[in-house]
Amino acid sequence: MKTTKLLASSLLFVFVFTAGVVFSQSSDDLKSQIEKINKEMTKNMLEGNTEKSLSMYTEDAISMPSYEPMHEGIDAIREATEKMAKSGWKCNSFEPTTLKIVPNGNMITEIGTYKISMSMPGMDKPMDDHGKYLTIWEKQKDGSMKVKLETWNTDVDPMTMMKSMGQMMGNEQKEEK
């Protein structure tokens, strides 16, 4: 009886330990895969390749950016991206850092931080920002992953950012008068 309990306990320990190792390896693999996609998305964003970036989203993706309404569906995300590009905003650098991966079936939640530098015509110098993001990835039938939902927000106080933007654009406004 003691031998059976000891054997059962040992098997349970081995099962739990092995499951933990397999899950850990799976999370590490998912993290590597997501970081690779993030590098490609960053490259596309910096090059202004909207269509290539959007190919990494599901058709029914939802984007919830800071200080903007929610964009539902790939067409709404495309429209918002094109509107931003036409306004003259340019992303000079973007550095996402994946902090945590939480797999749940065919959905994977990515939690991370970012640093970004942007410019717009009339700014004396680029505007730098940093914050956090959450992306929910959906595994596709072919094994690839696409963005299903994304949201991000700044860690910078918006009032400080607006004052900074006013100072960056102040010289041009003075010159126009």
What residue spans define the domains of the chain?
2-176
Sequential pLDDT tens for the chain (177 residues): 555 454 444 444 444 443 443 344 488 999 999 999 999 999 999 999 999 999 999 999 999 999 899 999 999 999 999 999 899 999 999 999 999 999 999 999 999 999 999 999 988 899 999 999 999 999 999 999 999 999 999 999 878 767 766 665 555 455 554
Assessment of whether the complete model's pTM goes beyond 0.85: no
Q: Which amino acid is at 149?
A: L
Closest CA to 113 of 137, 134, 82: 134
The three-state secondary structure class of 90 is strand
CATH architecture of 2-176: Roll (3.10)
Q: How far apart are CA 95 and CA 113, in angstroms?
A: 8
Q: How far apart are CA 144 and CA 127, in angstroms?
A: 34
